Amino acid sequence: MEHETNRERAVAYVRMSTDQQDYSIKNQMEAIEEYAEKNHLKITEIFKDEGKSGVQLKGRAAMVSLLELVRSGKADFKHLLIYDVSRFGRFQNADEAAFHEYEFNRAGIYVHYCAEDFINDGTAISSWFKMGKRMEAGSYSRNLSEKVFRGQCNLARMGFRQGGTIGYGLRRMRVNAQGEHLGILEKGQYKAIQTDRVVQVLGPEEEVKIVRWIYDSFIKKGKSEKEIVGLLNRKGIKTDLGREWCAASVLQILTNEKYIGNNVFNKTSGRLSNLRSFEKRRVVKTDREQWVRAENVFPAIIDASSFRIVQNIINERTRKYSNEELLDKLKKLLSCRGKVSGILIDEEEWMPSSAVYSHRFGGLLRAYELIGYSPQKDYSYIQINKYLRNLHAGILEKMETGFEKYGAFVEKNIVDDGTRWINREIKIMLNVSRCRRMESGRSRWLIRLERLDDVDFFIIARMNADNKTVKDYYLISRFDRESIDSKINEENSFFMEAFRHDNMDWFYQIFSRTHISTLIK
């Protein structure tokens, strides 16, 4: 047998989603280990994503960790062993899979698909086979998504629950194929037998009474969600999740048809078949016409007439106002209170929320301006911060150009969090610090260093008094960030000034590269 030290180092990546037991981790590793033995490779580490879908990278911690390791330039292996193309991922855009494989290739790491009937050697024929497999893997997920959805719709029409939290005052009951009750499913528990189903039943009597009390308080006593929340929390009553109540949790009880015994499915959808190849998977609200509804299939806590009354009240309250109506209400609030703020808007039951004004008019300040109101507080910083957020990208791009000018290689993370890798060795993060004018007339700049342990250098771009141009830069290493001041003043200590630089040119030059052959000459 060949000595272990003569074998090239390799790592294995295995993934199993809950719907593909044929792809068990054990089966994958057996094939991978056999392949490694035949090709004289030594497996030094195994990266596992168990119970994870391959439709997207998000949530696959092992694959993300593996890619980050490769991008950092610290990978000490030359081969990545994977069972087949579908285990690498069932990406809906085949180019995404190709891009991630290219990341490994660029780092000098060869990707092997151990159970495929082609050799991943970069030839035209293998590339054609691989692209076909990638498209087939993505198509499989879309087809499976559609089949699962149709099955869920049929079960929902028959009165079986199809996932989601059960809600306060209700419980999930497991039933067999004959409809016999097999016991309550507690939070985090799921049915173990495929032929079993789940139905909705009434929860503990004390919770049922609270639900009825909420409706009674809203309809007969005219209490708002906030008032109901205050009463519940003062009594020490917790939600089904063991938390304090909030307006949203009360509103959910007031608007969900499950409390009148209806089973409603497909209010939201994240089906792959609804997406184009370049779109990210997301959950979206569906039109009411697409909802799947089975009426009166569960025991009801609330009668249908009370539920309709509540919906009428809420619909009237949340109806869409014209711009003129919104501004008239804002003027009325100003006349009553003598001033206007987001808090005052939200406190009044007859007022739309402050978020409505912000969304409709592009900000609360613009709405105030339209009714001729000028708040005493200076809100100019809002516009400044908006400008600086846009400026941040420009400064970062300028820095990238500076590094590349001296031959450095600049990379983003897979998920762009504002950091950059320089030569796959050093990780930097840029912060832009706004100039703040104090009551004394002096200027001050705040330093906010993100608590990212893997950032090597934080670059603070300090703005001039006009907050339009950069004054200078502070370069702080991760070893110094705990000892520096959180504020920069017009005059600072000698220690703080040691981090200040007029420009970043000297820092760019540190990463310049010189060809060894030039030194030899």
Structure confidence by residue, pLDDT tens digits, 469-508: 899 999 998 888 777 877 888 888 888 888 999 999 888 8
Residue 108 has pLDDT above 50, yes or no: yes
Amino acid 493: pLDDT: 86
Question: What are the angstrom distances between the C-alpha of 346 and each of 66, 226, 247, 342?
Answer: 47, 10, 12, 6
Q: CB of 13 within 8 A of CB of 81? A: yes
Structure confidence by residue, pLDDT tens digits, 239-269: 988 888 988 899 999 999 999 999 888 877 6
* Closest to 30 measured CA to CA, from 117, 116, 121, 115: 115
Mean pLDDT for 141-153 is: 79
List CB contacts of 250: < 8 A, sequence separation 6 or more. Answer: 214, 225, 228, 229, 232
Amino acid 45: pLDDT: 92
* Closest to 240 measured CA to CA, from 307, 170, 302: 170
The H or E element containing residue 446 is strand 443-446
> Any idea which architecture 4-142 has in CATH?
3-Layer(aba) Sandwich (3.40)
Tell me the DSSP string of 1-34.
---GGGSEEEEEEEEE-TT-GGG-HHHHHHHHHH
Amino acid 278: pLDDT: 45
End-to-end C-alpha distance for the chain, whole angstroms: 46
Mean pLDDT for 7-25 is: 80
Q: CB of 459 within 8 A of CB of 474? A: yes
> Any idea which architecture 381-510 has in CATH?
3-Layer(aba) Sandwich (3.40)
Rounded-to-integer distance, Cα 144 and Cα 167, Å: 29
Residue 272 has pLDDT above 70, yes or no: no
What percent of the chain stands above pLDDT 70? 90
Confidence of residue 277 (pLDDT cuts 50, 70, 90): very low
Residue 225 has pLDDT above 50, yes or no: yes
Confidence of residue 282 (pLDDT cuts 50, 70, 90): low
Q: Are strands 470-477 and 436-437 parallel, antiparallel or unpaired?
A: unpaired
Mean pLDDT for 366-373 is: 89
Amino acid 22: pLDDT: 62
Residue 129 has pLDDT above 90, yes or no: no
Mean pLDDT for 343-360 is: 77
Residue 95 has pLDDT above 90, yes or no: no
Average pLDDT, the chain: 83
Q: CB of 91 within 8 A of CB of 134? A: yes
Confidence of residue 382 (pLDDT cuts 50, 70, 90): low
| DSSP label at residue 353 | P
The H or E element containing residue 8 is strand 8-16
Q: Which two tokens stand for residue 107?
A: 């780092």
Residue 416 has pLDDT above 70, yes or no: no
Amino acid 451: pLDDT: 56
* Closest to 134 measured CA to CA, from 109, 103, 98: 98
Residue 514 has pLDDT above 70, yes or no: no
Q: Which two tokens stand for residue 171?
A: 């419980």
List CB contacts of 195: < 8 A, sequence separation 6 or more. Answer: 176, 177
Residue 184 has pLDDT above 60, yes or no: yes
Structure confidence by residue, pLDDT tens digits, 356-365: 787 788 778 8
Residue 143 has pLDDT above 60, yes or no: yes
Angle CA(107)–CA(109)–CA(110) in degrees, nearest 5?
140
* 359, amino acid identity: H
Query: What is the CATH topology of the domain spanning 170-262+297-316?
Result: Hect, E3 ligase catalytic domain fold (3.90.1750)
Amino acid 380: pLDDT: 56
Q: CB of 44 within 8 A of CB of 8? A: no
Q: What are the backbone angles phi and psi of residue 434, rounded to the nearest 5°?
A: -75, 145
